């Protein structure tokens, strides 16, 4: 297998650490640069002793430097906050380096919508049209040809995969959709914050950002594509006292009377060629432990004829499927590698 040289900006964040873990088992990508402003000069196994003896463990962390990254790497992952990624992405793409951006900077196609939800003007609006939304099940051909991939957000990955068959096949009404999502605490990143402290997260459960979560426009943008018109979604988020995992319960009104068997057959057909989407048997519902550390999106279906509703439960690991694993799948596609390289992952147990 051809081996490509990869860089990772933001290796000390949760998604960066997850990517470093996944790259240990990848035959076609060699990590040659990993950056952090605070921890430059130390080796990865000094920072994360669990990487000791593994292929990436001896790599010395460097300062993020676009020229150095461009000289050393054929593809760079940007695992940094939004607002930071856009300048690096533009500079790297200009130098001919392929980029997978894990931040939100290139996901939203309309710069005004980005400015409204993220509170800052986009500094490279001309590059947004070039960026491909990196959901492999839906956009693999475009991802293969892309120089810049906007890796989807974690919540949007679960919501979009959960609702795609229902909307694209006209099973559900596009108006009045509710996506009720719960995430583990790594979703907020590794930076210190009172709200992420153990005693604030453990042994409790709370809602946050109801009606105003930044992933809303991304979900609306993609679901709108399925129905060919702009739609609105009530997207609401909750913080679970667990490290990893997202479970989204999506409520939609049935467009016409349908049985569970009918809806299940449509979902199974829509994802027949999608090995990472597991449409669970009728009557089964997903849970976070079954997808932990994997690329799987597990989908459970309920038809409630009493309320005329289709309920879709969609479950992923926010760090793997919702970020770094998906980024690796996109890199595989961009480089012409086996899409599943490094991603044949069974769930972490227990």
Ligand X SMILES: NC(=O)c1ccc[n+]([C@@H]2O[C@H](COP(=O)([O-])OP(=O)(O)OC[C@H]3O[C@@H](n4cnc5c(N)ncnc54)[C@H](OP(=O)(O)O)[C@@H]3O)[C@@H](O)[C@H]2O)c1
Catalytic machinery residues: 154
46 binds ligand X (CB under 6 A): no
Residue 249 interacting with ligand X (CB under 6 A) = no
Which one of the spans 36-44, 69-77, 163-171, 294-302 is the region binding ligand X (CB under 6 A)? 36-44
**Residue list 137-166, contact with ligand X (CB under 6 A):** 153-154
103 binding ligand X? (CB under 6 A): yes
**Nearer Cβ to ligand X (310/326):** 326
CB of 309 to ligand X, least distance (A): 29
Q: Identify the residue among 25, 111, 189, 241 touching ligand X (CB under 6 A).
A: 189
What's the closest the beta carbon of residue 102 comes to ligand X, in angstroms?
A: 4
322 binds ligand X (CB under 6 A): yes
51 touches ligand X by CB under 6 A:
no
Stretch that binds ligand X, among 77-85, 259-267, 286-294, 333-341 (CB under 6 A): 77-85
**Residue 178 Cβ vs ligand X, minimum distance, rounded to whole Å:** 22
Q: Note if the bond before 350 is cis, omega within 30 degrees.
A: yes
Judged by CB under 6 A, the residue of 43, 46, 84, 113 near ligand X is 84
């Amino acid at each position: 297998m051809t081996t490509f040289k990869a860089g990772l900006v933001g290796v000390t964040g949760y998604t960066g650490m997850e990517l470093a873990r996944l790259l240990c088992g990848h035959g076609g990508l060699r990590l040659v640069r990993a950056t952090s402003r605070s921890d430059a000069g130390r080796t990865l196994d000094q920072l994360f002793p669990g990487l000791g003896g593994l292929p990436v463990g001896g790599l010395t962390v460097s300062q993020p430097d676009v020229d150095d990254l461009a000289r050393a790497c054929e593809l760079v992952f940007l695992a940094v906050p939004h607002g930071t990624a856009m300048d690096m992405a533009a500079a790297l793409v200009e130098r001919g380096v392929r980029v997978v951006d894990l931040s939100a900077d290139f996901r939203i196609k309309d710069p005004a919508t980005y400015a409204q939800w993220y509170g800052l003007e986009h500094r490279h609006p001309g590059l947004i049209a070039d960026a491909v939304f990196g959901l492999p099940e839906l956009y693999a051909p475009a991802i293969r040809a892309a120089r810049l991939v906007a890796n989807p957000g974690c919540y949007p990955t679960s919501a979009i995969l959960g609702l795609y068959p229902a909307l694209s096949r006209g099973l559900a009404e596009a108006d009045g959709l509710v996506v009720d999502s719960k995430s583990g605490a790594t979703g907020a990143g590794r930076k210190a914050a009172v709200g992420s402290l153990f005693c604030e997260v453990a042994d409790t459960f709370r809602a946050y950002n109801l009606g105003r979560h930044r992933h809303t426009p991304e979900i609306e943008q993609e679901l709108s594509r399925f129905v060919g018109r702009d739609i609105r979604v009530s997207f609401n988020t909750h913080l679970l006292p667990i490290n990893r995992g997202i479970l989204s319960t999506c409520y939609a009104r049935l467009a016409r009377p349908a049985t569970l068997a009918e809806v299940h057959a449509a979902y199974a057909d829509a994802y027949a060629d999608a090995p990472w989407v597991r449409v669970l048997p009728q009557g089964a519902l997903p849970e976070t432990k079954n997808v932990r550390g994997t690329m799987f999106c597990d989908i459970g279906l309920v038809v409630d004829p009493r309320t005329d509703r289709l309920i879709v439960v969609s479950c992923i690991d926010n760090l793997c499927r919702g970020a770094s694993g998906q980024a690796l799948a996109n890199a595989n596609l961009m480089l012409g590698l086996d899409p599943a390289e490094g991603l044949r992952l069974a769930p972490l147990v227990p």
